[in-house]
Chains A and B, each alone.
Chain A
Amino acid sequence: MRSQSIRSNSFRKFLYISPFMVLLAVFSYYPLYGWVYAFFDYTPPIPLSQSPFVGFKWFHSLVENQVKIDQLLQVIKNTFGISGLGILFSWLPMIFAIFLTEIKAVRFRKFIQTVTTLPNFISWVLVYSLAFSMFSSEGMVNGFLHMTGLSDSPVLFLQSSDHVWLTMWFWATWKTLGWSAILYIAAIMGIDESLYEAAYVDGATRMQVIRHVVLPSMMPTYFVLLMLQIASFLNNGLEQYFVFQNAFNKDTMQVLDLYVYNLAMGGGSYSVSVAISMLKSLISVVLLFSVNGLSKLLRGEGIV
């Protein structure tokens, strides 16, 4: 009798959250059904039900001739280049946090923290607008170069296809560095007081304290974040690259996400872009499980 009432009560609790679970199913799980488009010859407005089934035709078509192979390779190269740079410099937020907490002047420290987290809260469109105002041919930087006589003709920063990976990495870092450092600051605040005291008593210099006390305590946090970053290696996101892309830099700008968008929305090849999306997701899942396994091996616990 009593156990039954408890059981019905627990089911009622589930009923309360069920509408939200439905929403989640619709917006997060149902789109997976869209993967079937990759196996049909889908051209709007003909509905999917009347499109011919083509099996793996689109997957083959990605590598059917040299031109397509070259294009796909270039896109993969861009993705690897930009994500690779991100991983190469993944220690930056940690160092940023360590030296920020070293600053004695409280006001200065708070000011730096406030100012450097700000860019995280503006959209990529706004970042592009700022970039445009600074670096376009009639922007501040070129105005400055012109006024000081450093250069006669405007430097075309945004239209160049050179160093695109670096500039994209720079903007992404500019936007997120201060914000990413917050997690590390939290970790630094969690360090056991007695470790510091012991180091002071032993007469350690500040650098030695950082090397032997702070850095080792940061490692678990750094490791987890690095693993997550590796798991999303192929997901650069669309917005940043979409707003910065133009006819001049398209070749080196197109990462997988942007390529998929351009194929479908620009070229109308829905089926091919779904095929690429699908491969991308599958590889991402494999990456996630791999880093999770690696984490279990090294730390004894997974990250997911």
Chain B
Amino acid sequence: MSDNQTGLTPISRDINISKKTIKMQVSATDKIISTIVYILFSLFAFICVYPFYSIIINTISANDLSARGEIIFWPKGIHFQNYVDVFKIPGLGNAFVISLGRTVIGTLLTVGASAFLGFMFAQEDMWGKKFWYRFTIITMFFNAGIIPWYLTMRTLHLTDNFLAYILPSVVAPFFIILVKTFVEATPKELQQAASIDGAGIFTIFYKIILPISKPILATVAIFSAVNQWNSFQDTLLLVTDSKLYSLQFILYNYINQASSLSTMVNLQNAGSTAMATLATKQTSTSIRMTVTIIVVAPILLVYPIFQRFFVKGIIIGAVKG
């Protein structure tokens, strides 16, 4: 895999073929097509970015204008009062801690388990290896359904329990496949040499496999962190205790009851010396959008850094040996 993750395109390749570069025919139709392609891609990119951009400019604009949908291309009447006010909503800080907690703990456990199981399934000699590997992988293709799952969780006393966010996702078949494929592609001699030197299985795993599997484990980590951070269904089904609400769930509730929240925040602010003007007075729109940005911000910050990692990782996983 070259460092340039999109690789050399077929078009740029013709430069490298030889000194007597074979020029490809570029017909008029090709030019028209490539212009259309550029336009379409730009348009789609715009559709992907604009919603995020527009909400960001709305949260820092005058609230009365944004409530009427008048902030479209650039912010007007910039202020940051919304971010100060939103953190006054009871429960939001707590939900942030819950979301962060499940993301950190869940990711650590999932990455650890995926690394270990992927490594073990790459072992040549394990009792019933084929059977247990199938036992694991087959779960990707069936599920009992949402209600049997809910009833199971209730039987296990995992309703209104923080562990319900963590335990079900520890063993993740897809990630195990990724790691197993990666480990099997590494030279066997590494492990053999270590075991001749008397290293036990855990030593090999910790000292050799973990360090060389960093790229694939980074991929698994980012996937599983995003899954945890974005998870909504488990809270919806299993949690009634508001102390365990995740940010996603709170956001969903806010979208549906933003008007009562804005009234509440405004009442809280009414006592303070700085009377809110129309521009900084909370509306249902401003509350909703500000919380949206708070929920999406971690993803927007982390995403560009890790993007090259998981594109590589997926490609490693796609090229199954």
Contacts and interface: CB of A to CB of B under 8 A. Distances in A.
A243 B236 CA distance: 11
Given A117-B307, A196-B13, A205-B27, A260 B251 contact: no
B149 interface: yes
B6 A126 contact: no
A150 interface: no
A14 B128 contact: yes
A6 to B, nearest CB: 7
Contacts of B319: 186, 190
A239 B232 contact: yes
B3 interface: no
Contact of A118 (B70, B142, B303): B303
A182 to B, nearest CB: 5
13 contacts: A102-B9, A103-B37, A110-B6, A112-B44, A118-B52, A121-B226, A125-B252, A129-B255, A142-B69, A189-B6, A190-B319, A205-B25, A265-B237
A10 B126 contact: yes
Interface string A135-151: 00011111110110000
Interface of B is mostly: helix
Contacts of A110: 6
A239 B152 contact: no
Q: On chain A, which size bracket covers the interface?
A: 35 or more
A207 to B, nearest CB: 6
Interface stretch (B208-216, B271-279, B291-299): B291-299
Which of A29, A129, A257 has the largest number of chain B CB atoms within 10 A?
A: A129
Contacts of A30: 152
A9 B129 CA distance: 13
Contacts of B168: 27
Nearest to A269: B147
B201 A13 contact: yes
Contacts of A23: 167, 170-171
A17 interface: yes
A49 interface: no
Interface of B: 6-7, 9-14, 17, 22, 24-27, 29-30, 33-34, 37-38, 40-42, 44-45, 47-49, 51-52, 54-55, 58, 67-72, 113, 116-117, 120, 123, 125-129, 132, 135-136, 139, 141-152, 156, 167-168, 170-171, 201, 226, 229-233, 236-237, 248-249, 251-252, 255, 285, 288-289, 292, 295-296, 299-300, 303-304, 307, 311, 314-315, 318-319
Contacts of A200: 14, 17, 22, 24
A10 B127 contact: yes
B116 to A, nearest CB: 8
Nearest to B302: A121
A116 B117 contact: no
A58 B237 CA distance: 23
The 5 lowest CB-CB distance pairs between A and B, nearest first, are A143-B69, A34-B148, A277-B145, A123-B230, A31-B144
Contacts of A39: none
B145 A101 contact: no
A205 B296 contact: no
A128 B136 CA distance: 34
Contact of A133 (B6, B117, B151, B288): B288
Interface in A238-285: 238-239, 242-243, 257, 260-261, 264-265, 270, 273-274, 277-278, 280-281, 284-285
A203 B14 CA distance: 12
Interface of A: 6-7, 9-11, 13-14, 16-17, 20-21, 23-24, 26-35, 37, 99-104, 106, 108-119, 121-126, 128-130, 132-134, 138-144, 146-147, 174, 177-178, 182-183, 185-191, 193, 196-197, 200-201, 203-207, 209, 214, 231, 238-239, 242-243, 257, 260-261, 264-265, 270, 273-274, 277-278, 280-281, 284-285, 288, 304
Given A37-B148, A118-B303, A265-B237, 5 more contacts: A14-B128, A20-B171, A32-B144, A125-B295, A133-B285
A207 B248 CA distance: 45
A186 B148 contact: no
Contact of A288 (B141, B255, B318): B141
Contacts of B40: 99
B32 to A, nearest CB: 11
Contact of A274 (B145, B237, B255): B145
A121 B299 contact: yes
